Amino acid sequence: MNQFRALYLCIFLLLSHLASAQIIPESVKKSFDAKYPEATQVKWSILESGVGFQINFLDEKKHRYAVFSRESEWVQTITFINSEKELPRLVRLTIDETHPKSTYDWIEWFESPDENYYIVGITSGTEEKEEIILTVTKDGEIRRSDKGNESHR
């Protein structure tokens, strides 16, 4: 009887593993590899909407995630920036001038076929210490400014 339980458990675990395995089309993998040939620590997942794939990876010592469509087309990439010192000079100057004494909380670089910009979370230098999310072009133009609880994309 115990042998049947052990066999049943093994079959169950194998089927569970197979059911959870994600099938990524080879064409999507090739598109990703062509765009990010130096990527390491690559982890694939299917978007909840089912319209594509999210790939988390390291590239140029930066954590990134990219989205590719089911048709193997690159949709977007977000790169996590470690420090405000990595921002272009114009971006830092604009933020520091428009939000003096603010502290940088987090920074992302958003890229898509249509547009590129920085998304910067800061805490204001005012007494209220508001959380502000800025969308800033690489040329230092602030395109959007939202309070921390509002959507920024």
pLDDT confidence of residue 129: 86
Q: What does 83-148 look like in DSSP terms, one character per residue?
A: -GGGS-HHHHHHHHHHSTT-EEEEEEEEE-SS-EEEEEEEE-SSTT--EEEEEE-TTS-EEEEEET
CATH number for 2-147 (one of 3.10.450.360, 3.40.640.10, 3.40.30.10, 3.60.110.10): it is 3.10.450.360
Q: Give the whole-angstrom CA distance, residue 71 versus residue 48.
A: 16
pLDDT confidence of residue 152: 47
Predicted confidence (pLDDT) per residue in 61-114, tens digit = 999 999 999 999 999 999 999 999 999 999 999 999 999 999 999 999 999 999
Predicted confidence (pLDDT) per residue in 103-145, tens digit = 999 999 999 999 999 999 999 888 788 999 999 999 999 999 9
Domain-by-domain residue ranges, the chain?
A: 2-147
Predicted confidence (pLDDT) per residue in 2-27, tens digit = 555 554 544 544 444 433 345 889 99
Predicted confidence (pLDDT) per residue in 43-62, tens digit = 999 998 888 999 999 998 99
